[in-house]
Amino acid sequence: MIIGMKGITLDSIGYKNCNMMIYKEETKECIECEKRYYLNSNKECQYNSHCNKINNQSHCIECEYGYYLNLNTKTCEEFKNGCKIGNETYCYQCKEGFIKENGECKKIDNKCNKSERNYCLKCSNGYKIQNNQCNGDKEDQCYYEGNECVSCSNEYTLNNGKCE
C-alpha cells in the first residue's frame, strides 16, 4: 500500500483536489480531500461551497453563516423562507422583516414599519401591536408607538392615551 500526498503526483494521475490517497495493487482510492471539498459516494472530491469545517471523513460538519448542513447529503444549503440561523428542520433566528413562530419564519405584516430580533417594534399610523402583529382599524385617529397612542389626527386631542 502506498499513500501519496498532494503535490507529488495525485493531480497528474486523475485525483483532482485529493490530499491523500491509498494505492493498492491496481486500485487507487482518495481518502482525504482539500479544504471545501468532500468525498462523494464515488470516492471523488467534490466541491462543497459554503462549508467551514470538514471532519476526518471529508464530510462537512459546519456551514457558513446563512447556510445549514443537510444531514443526508452532508452539504451546505441556503436557508429558505427568511431563516438566518438554524438547522434543516428548525429556525432559531429569522432575517429582518420576518418573525419566528414555532421554529419557522413568517414574513412580518406589511403594516410593521420597524422590527428587531423577530419582533415588530413600530406599526404604521393607525395600527397597534397585538401578538407581534399590527392590528387596528386604519380609521383610528391615534398614532401609535408600540401599543401606546402618542398623538392624534388633526381634529382630535390626546387625552390619557386616547383620541377624543
132 assigned to some structural domain: yes
121 assigned to some structural domain: yes
Q: Which residue has the higher pLDDT, 46 or 85?
A: 85
Inform me whether the pLDDT recorded for 159 exceeds 80: yes
64 assigned to some structural domain: no
Look at the chain and report how many structural domains it folds into.
1
Q: What is the CA radius of gyration of the chain?
A: 27
The whole-angstrom separation of Cα 30 and Cα 44 is 7
Inform me whether the pLDDT recorded for 78 exceeds 80: yes
Q: What is the pLDDT of residue 90?
A: 92
Burial class (CB in 10 A: 0-12, 13-18, 19+), 145: middle
69 assigned to some structural domain: no
State the pTM of this model. Answer: 0.50
Q: Which residue has the higher pLDDT, 22 or 2?
A: 22
Residue from 136, 160, 135 nearest 150 by CA = 160
- Residue 118 binned pLDDT confidence (cut-offs 50, 70, 90): low
Contacts 24+ apart (CB under 8 A), 79-85: 81/105, 82/106, 82/107
Q: Which domain holds residue 149?
A: 110-164
Burial class (CB in 10 A: 0-12, 13-18, 19+), 52: middle
Q: What is the pLDDT of residue 140?
A: 63
Q: What is the pLDDT of residue 6?
A: 47
130 assigned to some structural domain: yes
19 assigned to some structural domain: no
Inform me whether the pLDDT recorded for 92 exceeds 80: yes
59 assigned to some structural domain: no
> What residues contact residue 1 under an 8 Å CB cut-off, 6+ apart?
22, 23, 24
Share of the chain above pLDDT 90, in %: 4
Mean pLDDT score across all residues of the chain: 77
Q: What is the pLDDT of residue 11?
A: 54
